[in-house]
Amino acid sequence: MNELEDYFRDEANEIVEGLTRDLLALERNPSDMAILARCMRLAHTLKGAARVVRQTRIGEMAHTIEDALAPFRDGEDAITSDYVSDLLRILERIREETTKLGATIAPAPASEDKGKGTRESKPASPPVDDRLETVRVDIADMDALLEGLSEASIQIGPLNGGFGALQHALRLAVLLREELELGQAVGDRGRGSRLGAQIAEITQSLVHAERDIGAALGRIERELGEVQSRAATLRLLPVGAILGTLELTTRDTAEALGKNVSFSARGGEVRLEGHVLSAVRDALLHVIRNAVDHGIESFEERIGWGKPEVGRIHLDIERRGRMVAFRCSDDGRGIDVAAVRQAAVRRGLAKGEEELDEEATLALVFRSGLTTAAEVTEISGRGVGLDVVREVANRLRGSVRLSSKLGEGTTIEIEVPVSLSSIPVLSVMFGGSTALVPLDAVRGTRRVTASERLQGPGGERILFGDRAVPFTPLGAVLAPASEGHDLPEACSAVIVQSGEAWIALGVDRLLGTMDVVLRPLPPGAGAPAAVAGAAFDAQGDPLLVLDPPALARTGARREAATSTRREAPKRLPILVIDDSLTTRMLEQSILESAGYEVDLSASAEEGLRKAKARKYGLFIVDVEMPGMDGFEFTATTRADPALRDVPVIIVTSLATSKDRDKGAAAGASAYIVKGEFDQKHFVRKVAELLGAAS
């Protein structure tokens, strides 16, 4: 294909996308003459461009569209849906013809039957839809990029002066060495003044060189950073490029099912890399077909439920830092959790209905082979669809979430990175090695001492905000079969989240953040656990880039493997009462790691209400709280016939003997001072009191 045809193919694809969007908009607003005029201009442009490159068939089809729209210019007649459907079918044939321009044509073998002539040549491979692999760049953006490159070139100038100063210092150093060697040979001690002058001159030259080169390098680094950012922006495509395809899919699927469904979108100006956008488009096509087929009700059902006659699918696109969220919502019937649960049991994805709660059941919607369709059609029934959505999200290092309300509709949100070519990472050191953690998955870091690593039957945990996060050394995750993963008394923890899973990775220290280009591992490297690829540092050495979803899965498996806790007999829950969030979370983490169920209260008054509403095996209460204090709470429960047999542990910072006596007088079973808190003693005391109470 020659260069001119290259340009034509790109332009034709863009025009076809624009015509598709405008024809669908004209179908919704038949009286909008501005849209009609725009459609005719696009068809006319395509006709002219096709004739220039002698693509006669495409030109004739574009001319047909232009002629078909002409009768509606006076506004006397309104275009109908059937008419639009015919024009869209012509556009699809134009799209097929332009795609062929990019296909490799292989010569066909001659027919053995000479009477029939030679057979037509056929594509050696299926045509490739590369409409999302070509970027059209605004002149203003290109000018900004060239301006940045020019500025970087200008900033190189001062380096020449610094380089000259270095050359001069080098010459002086050579002369100085010669002077020293000559002085040592002849024993001349009178050269000191000359040597001192030369040393001073060398020092001055080096100072000037350091100043000039350092400043120039800083400016060049900033300018090149701006250039890199602008160049990366040029690679991005607006989401609007796929909206026409999504709307057309909505329309065609609804038409095939005899439904009336509208499609709307917001945020089409958001931009991301073409191959990311292409993968997201494929996932959204599955989401939309599923919504039209399974979600949107028939006309009669919608009327019966008091809903608008036309079903609605809305796509909301939102930029979130380095991520883009695609939230696709419909106002259909929602997901029948019971039907999904039954289908899962039939498919062997679950052993029994009682084992699946609503959240777990909805998660099964993304499993391959699961379908609730009563029969197989061209659109659904094979159990293939939303599993593709999950696969796309995982492949793009993104996430997918689903929420649904029966009778009101379903929302599926796909979140993906803007770009996969360059990612921000946190560099960490562990056991003498360096690894890179994608920054998008890092929820925070903190310094952790050995006493803050809470040991439980399922392994260690640390507190992060109000969450007890599984903790494990990074070395143990990457090389579980190796030894020597011990961390120092105080180490750093990197808290990583992937979907609903959290893990805290223990590392020796944090090295900082940077942007890297992710590269696949070479074939001979195998597939190390929890590794997404590699990147090169400034010296050209490869560094491992970790894979957050695999990290979380590996950490969960490690926690399960180290768990030695057997199924404990059913015990009454424990109520922890403390106005300090940190204290509540700490005690909850310790107790849950030991296998207890824990409820929390932020005040003694709230604690009393909970104590009267539910049966507890133990109360753990602070003393100094607003309103009722811990002594009063203890005394109140001792005076209540329904609560007086429930043991009370007072955990407080009050350490005087007078306070201890006051606690005993109120009826406390144990008194623990926070400043003397010991996890093992605390757990033993809890077990002792619960054993006595049972």
Query: What is the C-alpha to C-alpha distance for residues 217 and 229, in angstroms, rounded to an integer?
Result: 18
Question: Closest Cα to residue 322, out of 415, 200, 183?
Answer: 415
Please determine, for residue 504, whether its predicted confidence score (pLDDT) is greater than 80.
Answer: yes
Cα 423 to Cα 182, 231, 418, 436, distances in angstroms: 58, 15, 10, 10
Please determine, for residue 302, whether its predicted confidence score (pLDDT) is greater than 70.
Answer: yes
Token look-up 């379908």 returns 371
What are the structure tokens assigned to 420, written together? 């996969």
- DSSP, res 233: H
Q: Are strands 490-498 and 459-464 parallel, antiparallel or unpaired?
A: unpaired
Please determine, for residue 15, whether its predicted confidence score (pLDDT) is greater than 80.
Answer: yes
Query: What is the C-alpha to C-alpha distance for residues 347 and 352, in angstroms, rounded to an integer?
Result: 11
Average pLDDT over residues 648-658: 90
pLDDT band at 621; cut points 50, 70, 90: very high
Whole-structure pTM value:
0.53
E strands of 207-268, at which residues? 236-238, 261-266
- Crossing angle of the two packed helices 240-257 and 3-28, in degrees rounded to 10: 50
Radius of gyration of the chain (CA): 35
The pLDDT, as a whole number, for residue 225 is 67
Query: What is the C-alpha to C-alpha distance for residues 439 and 437, in angstroms, rounded to an integer?
Result: 6
The pLDDT, as a whole number, for residue 249 is 86
The pLDDT, as a whole number, for residue 197 is 72
* pLDDT digits 0-9 by tens, 123-175: 333 333 455 555 555 656 666 665 666 566 555 655 666 666 677 777 777 77
574-693: CATH number: 3.40.50.2300
Mean pLDDT score across all residues of the chain = 77
The pLDDT, as a whole number, for residue 643 is 93
Q: How many degrees, rounded to 5, is the angle at CA 168 between CA 167 and CA 172?
A: 115
Burial class (CB in 10 A: 0-12, 13-18, 19+), 278: middle
The pLDDT, as a whole number, for residue 12 is 82
Residue 311 backbone phi and psi in degrees, to 5: -70, 155
Average pLDDT over residues 643-653: 92
Please determine, for residue 187, whether its predicted confidence score (pLDDT) is greater than 70.
Answer: no
Question: Closest Cα to residue 420, out of 545, 276, 317, 283?
Answer: 276
The pLDDT, as a whole number, for residue 76 is 76
132-141, 290-299, 371-380: segment of lowest average pLDDT? 371-380
Query: What is the C-alpha to C-alpha distance for residues 567 and 553, in angstroms, rounded to an integer?
Result: 23
What are the structure tokens assigned to 561, written together? 């493997």
Token look-up 């057979």 returns 119
* pLDDT digits 0-9 by tens, 71-117: 888 777 888 888 888 898 898 889 888 877 765 333 333 333 434 33
The pLDDT, as a whole number, for residue 380 is 52
Most confident of 1-10, 12-21, 133-142, 200-209: 12-21
Q: Give the residue with greater pLDDT, 648 vs 569.
A: 648
Q: Are strands 423-430 and 509-516 parallel, antiparallel or unpaired?
A: antiparallel
Q: Yes or no: is domain 423-562 CATH 3.40.50.620?
A: no
Query: What is the C-alpha to C-alpha distance for residues 412 and 425, in angstroms, rounded to an integer?
Result: 28
* pLDDT digits 0-9 by tens, 547-598: 887 787 765 565 555 544 444 456 789 999 998 876 787 788 788 777 788 8
Q: Give the residue with greater pLDDT, 29 vs 171.
A: 29
Render 94-155 in DSSP notation, one character per residue: HHHHHHHTTSPEEPPPPPS-GGG-PPPPEESSPPP--TTS--PPPHHHHHHHHHHHHHHHHH
Element (H, E) at 400: strand 399-405
Place domain 238-417 in its CATH homologous superfamily.
Answer: Histidine kinase-like ATPase, C-terminal domain (3.30.565.10)
Average pLDDT over residues 625-649: 92
Q: Yes or no: is domain 3-103 CATH 1.20.120.160?
A: yes
65-69, 116-120, 291-295, 666-670: segment of lowest average pLDDT? 116-120
The pLDDT, as a whole number, for residue 183 is 63
- DSSP, res 298: P
The pLDDT, as a whole number, for residue 311 is 94
pLDDT band at 476; cut points 50, 70, 90: confident
Hey, where are the domains in the chain? 3-103, 141-234, 238-417, 423-562, 574-693
Average pLDDT over residues 499-508: 85
The pLDDT, as a whole number, for residue 377 is 47
182-191, 257-266, 399-408, 463-472: segment of lowest average pLDDT? 182-191
The helix/strand/coil state of 440 is helix
What proportions of the chain, in percent to the nearest 5, are helix, strand and coil? Answer: 50, 20, 30
The pLDDT, as a whole number, for residue 105 is 35
Average pLDDT over residues 363-392: 60
Topology match between the domains 3-103 and 423-562? no
pLDDT band at 376; cut points 50, 70, 90: very low
Please determine, for residue 642, whether its predicted confidence score (pLDDT) is greater than 60.
Answer: yes
Average pLDDT over residues 343-362: 65
Q: How many degrees, rounded to 5, is the angle at CA 362 between CA 356 and CA 363?
A: 90
* pLDDT digits 0-9 by tens, 416-459: 888 776 778 899 998 778 889 988 889 999 998 887 887 765 67
51-60, 195-204, 405-414, 556-565: segment of lowest average pLDDT? 556-565
188-192, 226-230, 499-503: segment of lowest average pLDDT? 188-192
